[in-house]
Amino acid sequence: MANVNTELPLGREQPRELEEAEAAIEHGKLADGGDVGGGSSMSRQMLRVFLQNKLAVISAVFIVLLVLGCIIVPMFYPESYWSNASADFTSSCFDNTAAGNLGNAAPSAQHVLGCTTGYDNFALLFYSGRFSLAIGGLAGILTIVIGTFYGVIAGYRGGRTDSILMRVNDVFLSIPGLYLLLLVITIYGSTLTSLIAVIGLTSWFGVARLMRGEAQIQRDREFSQAARAMGATGRRVMWKHVLPNSVSTMMTAATFAIGDAVIVLSVIGFLGLALNPPDFDWGTMISQAVNYFELGYWWTLWPVAIVFILFVLSTNYIGDALRDAFEVRLQER
């Protein structure tokens, strides 16, 4: 089929016959492999493909347990274990330790991961995870929403609209991301809301380019051309056919975006520009731990570093598995 390179009309009403025809196509739509697939059987196939990836399953279980831990664990510890809001540090972190250690007690039965500057590392790890996962998750969602809509509009419309939108996108991509991020944080501060907005609004440019390419592919496939031939407007084809069939790329990008947002937040926290006590994130914990790690207090760094690395790896494994699961051509692996 010939590629569509010009801007497509977006503004006509849909005849009732078109809606009925599209409904029939939707219920009996051919998969890429040529087989007619029902919705329930396709869902089972997608789940089976995902479950075949053992690393992805383990990663999903790990993230679920981590999220539950971040919600539940701090409830079972006194506030002084993970917050200095009351200026009351955990006295046991200073017991039976060398003088001048600033509360960096070694792991024990009472503090299984030891202490850092008077805080219990186990409780603080999950308390900080609340903020890291919340900010990373919401910022990742914001990144995907903006990047998806921007890229799909540019890719589907084509022509001058595509050229203008992509040149604007290229301008932002040419600016070093960390520099842009630090500049905005310096101006607007580092509250919970501002961090979500800043990370989300400075991270969607790569997603937009990715979704633009996917929209161009879906725009030129047979079902999109058939819908236009039946009289569907450009807007209807874009949101009813192109966007739903781009969900594989979108879901894969979403998992990577969340992992990237947590990394960015940790970088900001390591530089001392993220949340301030009594609020913590993993980057702030790592920043404090580095000062004591070189002095031999290994327990101040390793627990949070291991959890952070495992979380980022888990999002990558889940993203790879979701990409395979959403590929309708993978009827058998």
Do 113 and 303 contact (CB within 8 A), yes or no? yes
Tell me how far apart the alpha carbons of residues 115 and 125 are, in angstroms, rounded to a whole number: 11
Predicted local distance difference test score (pLDDT) of residue 67:
94
pLDDT tens-place string over residues 301-321: 889 999 999 999 999 999 888
User: Is 43-94+112-326 in CATH node 1.10.3720.10?
Assistant: yes
| pTM exceeding the 0.85 threshold for the entire prediction | no
Q: What is the pLDDT of residue 75?
A: 84
Percent of the chain at pLDDT exceeding 70: 78
Spell out the long-range contacts of 100-105 with Cβ–Cβ below 8 A and sequence spacing 24 or more: 101/297, 102/292, 104/292, 104/297, 104/299, 104/300
pLDDT at 32 over 50: no
Residue 141 or residue 188, greater confidence: 141
* More confident call, 249 vs 10: 249
* Tens of pLDDT, residues 88-104: 445 556 554 444 555 77
Domain chopping of the chain, boundaries: 43-94+112-326
Q: What percent of the chain has pLDDT over 90?
A: 25
Question: Which of left, alpha, beta for 146 (phi over 0: left; psi -120 to 50: alpha)?
Answer: alpha
pLDDT at 332: 43
- CB atoms closer than 10 angstroms to residue 155: 27
DSSP state of 175: S
